[in-house]
Chain A
Amino acid sequence: GGIITQTPKFLIGQEGQKLTLKCQQNFNHDTMYWYRQDSGKGLRLIYYSITENDLQKGDLSEGYDASREKKSSFSLTVTSAQKNEMAVFLCASRRTGGNYAEQFFGPGTRLTVL
């Protein structure tokens, strides 16, 4: 088994501020993801990475940067926080090479922009 840790659990920022969210996994998975979940809604993919130093854009990448510093960690930066970005950001990981491999999710970082 393994675990995905997201920090911080709650993040409060000011409009226009640059904010960074962090994710660590100990599954030894190759692929990692960042999703955004708006209240009671579905997940939208922001970025994913299939290996260290790789980055692939999702449908919602505008306004975000990401960094895969090493296999176990994946960071997301909100480049300029906006009031309509109050949401939960979920990190996930998956074993690459298995078509049927599921994604495992962390508990999320809840972002509030004042």
Chain B
Amino acid sequence: QQKVQQSPESLIVPEGGMASLNCTFSDRNSQYFWWYRQHSGEGPKALMSIFSNGDKKEGRFTAHLNKASLHVSLHIKDSQPSDSALYFCAVTLSNYNVLYFGSGTKLTVEP
């Protein structure tokens, strides 16, 4: 059974600072990795995905994947108050239809 764990549970960073979110997964057959963001009162929305080891950058967001250490991370540069939200890591196995979600990291960016 795939287990996806995120840390920290909550994170406070100053406006303009760097936020780093971590995720570990248990199944070495994990294929594809997503980061979703959920603002209060809304459904989650996909931020970015990664499937190869290394870094992937999209604007202020960089995802890093290391399959050997079963770890994926998200780094947010120049954090803005609008980045305050719940962030989820989600992982697929060979069935791409099914996503396994972590329990989330609550990010607060203080002006």
Contact = CB atoms under 8 A, between A and B. Distances in A.
Interface residues of A, number: 27
Contacts of A106: 43
Interface residues of B, number: 23
A100 B31 CA distance: 10
Contact of B34 (A35, A92, A102, A108): A102
Most buried by B among A48, A105, A107: A105
Given A43-B88, A96-B97, A105 B103 contact: no
28 contacts: A4-B43, A31-B97, A41-B103, A41-B104, A42-B4, A42-B88, A42-B101, A43-B88, A43-B101, A45-B98, A45-B99, A48-B98, A50-B97, A58-B98, A92-B43, A94-B97, A96-B97, A99-B32, A99-B96, A100-B32, A100-B49, A102-B46, A103-B99, A104-B46, A107-B41, A107-B42, A107-B43, A108-B42
Interface of B: 4, 31-32, 34, 41-46, 49, 51, 86, 88, 96-99, 101-104, 106
